[in-house]
Structure 1
Amino acid sequence: MITDQRVDEILPDLQAEGERHETHTPGRREALQRLVLAQREVRNTPDGYWVAGTDPESAHHGLTGTTKLDDVRSAAVMSDGVSRLVTEYGMATWDEVFAALQAGGPRELIETVRKVEATDPTGIRWPGYKSGDDATVAFCQWWPGKTGGRPDISGRHQPAYTCAQRHTVRTMSPASDQLGSPGGEW
């Protein structure tokens, strides 16, 4: 499991200032404006955090890892608007997230995130930039024993796989309309 939480490690004082206010209040908007402006100064710099964008240099700063292909049965790439179900809300484990993806696909997982977020409309339980963040999931599964596609360089056929349709839900709030998403975009 690889997660990138670097955006949460910078500017902790400004993040804490925003978290002291309820979502959609003038105090939260003002604090977020200060945070977003400060984040823009350090985004995609050695002293800050990196997000994919138009600067090819950001690709050199992505977090990567390896695992044996024989150990992989499924893979998902998701924005922080979805991963927060585990990382921030603590309302699921990664095993539960993958079980939900296998059972209902990306759309159902995003709906689960939205239901959890709806239990905290003022952002007191889970302070954040807004009451719901953009949510994107791409999910792929492999089936051992099945073959498909072209043979690899050794002449063996690769395992069959399918990728669920990528699903994105874009959420806008007064702060994000004016300032853009503070981080975690892809």
Structure 2
Amino acid sequence: MQTQQSRKRYTQPCNCGFAGDSLRECSCTPPMLQRYRSRLSGPLLDRIDLHIEVPRVPHKDLSDPIDAEPSEAIRARVETARELQRRRLAPFRLHCNAQMQARHIRKFCPVDAQGQKLLEMVTDRFGFSARTYSRILKVARTIADLAGSEQIAQAHLAEAIQYRSLDRKIH
């Protein structure tokens, strides 16, 4: 049976728990980070659409009275994007971008020449698999939908790529 300490370790970014922390320095070496992250297999990571690192939030930011975007506005934008996806994909008996197969991705996720260059560069640099490449395109399509854009722009691709942080090789 695992102890609480050993279970906790798997939810942290590294062995010491401070990789990416703004207040404490990580004591892990690059090989230690690579070994720690390799516990999650590539095929498993390929099946997860978004990899998001959540940094520590300083108290001053938690107590800041500045208003964020209201939940109602975010909800409306998401509902609009979901309805757009439902209409676009209804002829294929799909209801959201995550369900798209390769033929749907080719049809609904075209990118311009600059976008192709960006995808080629990150695929070669980070060694992304074909499955990861497809997931990036589907997430970029969703980001474009949320922005109300018919075309996937380079900014949408760049944001989608940022959500694949666990796929990147540690140097």
Question: TM-score per shorter chain, which class?
Answer: under 0.3
Q: TM-score, normalised by structure 1?
A: 0.21
Q: TM-score, normalised by structure 2?
A: 0.23
Instruction: Please identify which structure carries the higher helix content.
Output: 2
